[in-house]
Copies of this chain bind each other. A is one copy, B any other.
């Protein structure tokens, strides 16, 4: 069986994560997102004492929630350490075989060593606001702010660690607006492309 990995990058509120779950289910392959990758990083022992120590003084429990709050003796920021960790976790997951990975710059991390199908999911702002209000329990104004700020952060983070532009077509094989088709059909569609791609081999 091919080692083809599906990576999904997505605008906040576009339904990209749920689409990823559906695609994995349709293809019978594992699904990994940010939370799962964080958990594996913690359990695997990849998270070292430096990060654990800083975490104790941080407001959130998540090891990925800090913003440039410190550097170790080697001059690495928390973010640098975290990127190195997620790189290792993602590569090890990909090594196991076909899977769907949402976010975490997986498209870039895997591009030289694995056969990847890189997908970018976006949506109309109206639809993203509706979805965010419903899933996060916030009002319209808060939803719009959350969408813009999250995507801005994703864009800056992606640029910093990959040197590439987030959402720029050359990084993806397929970019889809989920609004018109809906999440179910969008997922069908990605699963079909994946099957067609693997047929070739």
Contacts and interface: CB of A to CB of B under 8 A. Distances in A.
B176 A174 contact: yes
B173 A174 contact: no
Given A189-B193, A192-B192, A197-B181, A169 B173 contact: no
A167 interface: yes
Contact of A174 (B177, B192, B196, B197): B177
Interface string A28-44: 00000000000000000
A192 B185 CA distance: 11
A167 B196 CA distance: 25
A80 interface: no
Contact of A122 (B170, B180, B192): B170
A140 B174 CA distance: 27
A175 interface: yes
A177 B173 contact: yes
Interface in A90-119: none
Interface string A120-148: 10100000000000000000000000000
A139 to B, nearest CB: 24
Interface of A: 120, 122, 167, 169-170, 172-177, 180-181, 185, 188-189, 192-193, 196-197
Given A173-B176, A173-B181, A181-B193, 16 more contacts: A120-B169, A167-B169, A169-B169, A169-B177, A172-B175, A174-B174, A174-B176, A174-B177, A175-B175, A175-B176, A181-B197, A188-B196, A189-B189, A189-B192, A189-B193, A192-B192
